Structure 1
Amino acid sequence: MDNSIKYALHGKLIAQEGKGNELAKILLYAASLMKSAKGCHLYIVGVGNNNPDEIWITEIWDTKEDHDNSLNVAGVRELIGKALPILNGRPEKGQEWNILGGTGID
């Protein structure tokens, strides 16, 4: 794989009704932990315009392996434990792709 190609992930989590803000806070804290994760270039959290319980996450990493290893960052597994009980159903698999280029990713 060319070193200029990066791994990206985009997905959504849906919180139980009225729990979107709580889920967003958990994920924003996760974003702060990703500052120390190897290979993380972007970890952003947003809320759906039409549904405050729909939380979107977009990530850019050097490799999928770096993304997978982020589960080992101190505090991440605890945050997952806090988020899972307030989700509305099981998390859906996010969209994955390899970035070929663009603005702001070099």
Structure 2
Amino acid sequence: MTKKYGLHGKLTAAAGQKDKLASILLEASRLVSTAKGCQVYLISEDKNEPDAVWVTEVWDSKEDHDDSLKVAGVRELIGQATPILAGQPQKGQELTILGGTGIR
């Protein structure tokens, strides 16, 4: 079994900024979609928390994830997202992905 590296985390936007945050994260998803080792990069809304946006990532390795921060435009998007967050981002859950539907 080949294990993968996963992250699952919540970002909370300042009031009225959730759609902008989601748009930035969707653009980040587009940028990293062709990065080495990217299996999944999902952006989700939370029905119970109107300002929360969840990011779920699956990578071949932690190194591939770390290298994705070097993809052109990613740092700029981080710079756009940071000022519209309601405080510091929570540390996401680091996961060891064992497999499942859609994981290569």
TM-score of Structure 1 vs Structure 2, range by shorter chain: over 0.9
Shift in Å, 1:52: 2.5
Shift in Å, 1:97: 1.2
Distance 1:22 1:52 in 2: 13
Distance 2:48 2:57 in 1: 22
Q: 1:96 aligns with which of 86, 94, 97?
A: 94
Whether contact under 8 Å (1:11, 1:93) holds in the other structure is yes
- Indicate the residue corresponding to 1:82 in structure 2: 80
Runs of 4+ in 1 over 6 A off after TM superposition: none
Instruction: Confirm whether residue 7 of structure 1 aligns to residue 5 of structure 2.
Output: yes
Higher deviation after alignment, 66-75 or 49-58: 49-58
Whether contact under 8 Å (1:21, 1:52) holds in the other structure is no
Shift in Å, 1:100: 1.5
Shift in Å, 1:36: 1.9
- Indicate the residue corresponding to 1:34 in structure 2: 32
Task: Give the aligned residue type for 2:4.
Answer: K
Unaligned 5+ segments in structure 1 are none
Distance 1:41 1:49 in 2: 25
RMSD over equivalenced CA pairs, Å: 1.0
Instruction: Confirm whether residue 46 of structure 1 aligns to residue 40 of structure 2.
Output: no
Distance 1:101 1:27 in 2: 24
TM-score, structure 2 as length reference: 0.95
Percent identity among equivalent residues?
60
Q: 2:20 aligns with which of 15, 19, 22?
A: 22
- Indicate the residue corresponding to 2:53 in structure 1: 55
TM-score, structure 1 as length reference: 0.93
Unaligned 5+ segments in structure 2 are none
